[in-house]
Chain A
Amino acid sequence: MYSLALRMAWASLVRRRARSFLVVLMICVSLWGLLVMQGIYDGMTEQMIANAIRSDSGQLSLFGRGYRLDPSLDTLVGGKQTDNAGERLRNLLDNDPGVRSWVKRLRQNGLVATAHYSRNTEIYGVDLDREDKNGQLQRYLLQGEYDFGDQSKGAIIGFKLAEKLQVKIGKKIILSAQDLNSEVTAIALRITGVLKTNNLGIDENAVFIDLERARTFLGVEQGVSQISIMMHDDQQLTSLQQELQYALPHLDVLRWDELYPALMQSRVMMKGFSLVISIMIFGVAGLGIFGVMLVSVLERMREFGIMLAIGTSFRQVRIIILAEALFMGLTGLLAGAVCGGLSLVYFKIYGLDLTMFSEAFEEFGMDAITYAIIRPDYFVTAFAAVVLATFVSVYFPLRLLRRANPIEVINAV
């Protein structure tokens, strides 16, 4: 019974080859475009967020209470509150099942100088191995080596800072800063690497030095300015935040989106934007299917009239019509999903290179090469949207048919 309905639907589609093909093509192309657009835009947003998270905030960051408002060496994590605060913190973070990895950073603002130029800077005392495990910092290396060299006398600096100071790998820089006792101290380092994180704050201001060197330099024996935490599962973000805040009441535990609220807004905006565009596209596509189905039903009013008259149930007729619509919709969906999926895979692997706009990308804190993201829900949404559009588009023609009087229809020319 179903096979007859399907055969009839197929026959009807084949008979109107051109328009069936157009509908399939329309769905395919619109879906293709939509998928690529979503994947690329999401890729961009997520890349921006990932840059900020990996190079700075982690998913969660721990700061001494009030550090964010008034950053100073007096407000440290695991500083002087108790003797083994650092130890306890380490145990807590190492044993927490939600924490994938974490890094310590000692930060202080200061001055970086060469014989020609001097600039204000943010000094980061870091552990390079851990940073790489935590946020793959090494991937951001633009020039030089991911290493502080012999006796850790090296420094890795942001590429914009390097440009402003006009320094290259191997050149000497002098860092000066106030130490824990507010004494001005200075240190000579050689540039071993240049970073491009696309996190503007870091690219323009940061000088990364060895954590232990930073400790002696700044006279900070224990404690750090920031602990940046990466999680196994970022769905648990708020619960881990609460858990850590409970365990560490004297610290500020902040989520990445509290540290970079603009990025969260970008993500929300991008989602809304995608939704609006999707609705528009599927709405219009639905209109296309609707037109074709309406005409297809109207053309065959007589045919259906006869079928109903000789005892075919309305349900069967409905199945024929639905099958016809679904056939087009799903073929288009499949074609579009395959084209879109393949394009996304391409852009995921090779990226979309927009180097000609790189200046503008830097302004936004984005990478010039965008790697697409592929989420299953793109396809699920597309499937649901196409099916929905199909059903909606046959609703009116079916109603028309149901209301029609078979005898009249048969007698109409």
Chain B
Amino acid sequence: MRYCLRIFCTLSLFFTGGFILIFSQVLHAEDANDIIEKVVNNLNGKTAVMEISMVVKTSRAERTMKMKSYSIGQKKSFIKILYPKKDEGITFLKLDNSMWQYVPRIEKTIKIPASMMLQSWMGSDFSNDDLVKESSLSEDYDHALISETDNEYNLELHPKADAAVVWGKILMSVSKQYYLPVRVSYFDEDGVLIRELLYTDVKAYGKRFYPSCWVMTPKTADKKGHETRITVSSAIFDTVVDDGYFTKRALKRFSR
């Protein structure tokens, strides 16, 4: 009899414990989703027009590029290279999952083929795919809040079963103050850190706060010494952006 009682106690403990565990997961998951949602909205805005400069550092050299970008939400964006002189006028158009590029030197619009999607974008540590898929953080991942400090939420993102993303896991720290990412770490399936993206120097642009400096650092041995630093020099959010930017014709037209 006493024996049975003990089993019963153990079982109930087990169940309640489990229930609490499940409950807390659900609670966190909802929280985490909200956080990610906010983060993604904060990063993109309804529309955005930005001027940025990108410094690509390798173990040998350092290059600086300047460009202007126009975007509506997460799905449409248009980028024009302003500097260096030899690349001036190169334009990019992203619509949903496709990307086109116009190169004035060869007077040609090229659709980036699937086989080039994972190649580096303009020699940076971002891939073409990163540009196309930046929206996928909210859609392609299950999110869980794993811990929080006074200033930051620490989220763990696991790709959904069907999501076509190469990462095994993403860890993201989000600032509680701005609901903006602070650090995003990308891991492979075995938990090996592949690269890290830092967002710093949050500034106010109009009503909106935005990280004015992004630093991507690959962590794999073959990219040692590489770093890509994007600095936002000006940004206007939520104004009306001409829809004409987001057509293939615009690539050539706005190249000049």
Chain A interface residues (CB < 8 Å from chain B): 109-111, 113-116, 118, 120, 153, 171-172, 174-178, 182-188
Instruction: Please indicate the chain B residues that have their CB under 8 angstroms from the CB of A153 in the complex.
Output: 161-162
Whether B115 sits at the interface, judged by CB under 8 Å, is yes
Cα A114 to Cα B192 with chains together (Å): 12
Tell whether A116 pairs with B194 under 8 Å between CB atoms, given A172-B189, A188-B161, A188-B163.
Answer: yes
Q: Across the interface, name the chain B residue whose C-beta is closest to A187.
A: B164
CB<8 Å pairs between A and B, sample of 23: A111-B115, A111-B118, A113-B118, A113-B166, A115-B167, A115-B186, A115-B187, A115-B188, A115-B189, A115-B192, A115-B194, A172-B166, A172-B168, A174-B166, A178-B113, A178-B114, A183-B97, A183-B98, A184-B98, A184-B113, A184-B114, A185-B97, A188-B161
Q: Are B166 and A176 in contact (CB under 8 A)?
A: no
Instruction: Compute how far the CA of A111 lies from the CA of B113 in the bound complex, rounded to whole angstroms.
Output: 10
Tell me the bound Cα distance from A116 to B186 in angstroms. Answer: 11
| Cβ-defined contact, B118 with A118, below 8 A | yes
Q: Please name 17 further chain A to chain B contacts, defined as beta carbons within 8 Å, in addition to the given A183-B97, A184-B97, A184-B113, sorted by A numbering.
A: A110-B114, A113-B166, A114-B188, A115-B166, A115-B189, A116-B194, A120-B115, A172-B166, A172-B189, A176-B115, A176-B117, A178-B113, A184-B99, A185-B114, A187-B162, A187-B164, A188-B159
A184 cross-chain contacts in B, Cβ below 8 A: 97-99, 112-114, 117
Closest 4 CB pairs of A and B: A186-B164, A115-B188, A176-B114, A118-B118
B131 within 8 A of A: no
Contact at A111–B114, with CB atoms within 8 Å? yes
By beta carbon, the residue of chain B nearest A111 is: B115
B110 CB → nearest A CB, Å: 13
Q: Could you tell me the distance in whole angstroms from the C-beta of B113 to the nearest C-beta in chain A? A: 7
Q: Known: A113-B118, A115-B194. Is A188-B165 also a contact (CB below 8 A)?
A: yes
B168 in contact with A182 (CB, 8 Å): no
Given A114-B188, A115-B166, A188-B162, are A182 and B111 neighbors across the interface (CB < 8 Å)? yes
| Nearest-Cβ distance from residue B135 to partner chain A, whole angstroms | 14
Report chain B residues within 8 Å CB of A188: 159, 161-165
Known A153-B161, A186-B164; judge A171-B189 contact (CB<8 A): yes
Q: Which residues of B contact A171 (CB under 8 A)?
A: 189
**A224 to B112 Cα, complex, angstroms:** 25
Inter-chain CA distance A182–B110, complex, in Å, is 13
Q: Given A110-B114, A176-B117, A188-B163, are A115 and B168 also a contact pair (CB < 8 Å)?
A: yes
Q: How far is the CA of A115 from the CA of B112 in the complex (A)?
A: 20
Which residues between 106 and 135 of chain B lie within 8 Å of chain A, taking CB atoms? 111-115, 117-118
The total number of A-B Cβ pairs within 8 Å is 67
Tell me if B220 is interfacial: C-beta within 8 Å of chain A: yes
User: With a CB–CB cut-off of 8 A, which chain B residues contact A182?
Assistant: 111
Q: How far is the CB of A172 from chain B (nearest CB, A)?
A: 6
Using CB atoms, name the residue of chain B closest to A110. Answer: B114
B111 & A176 in contact (Cβ 8 Å cutoff): no
Q: How far is the CB of A191 from the nearest CB of chain B, in Å? A: 11
Question: CB within 8 A of A116: which of B97, B99, B114, B188?
Answer: B188
B residues 156-186 with Cβ under 8 Å of A?
A: 159, 161-168, 186
Q: How far is the CB of B116 from chain A (nearest CB, A)?
A: 8
CA distance A109 to B113 in the complex (A): 11
Give A114's nearest chain B residue, CB to CB: B166
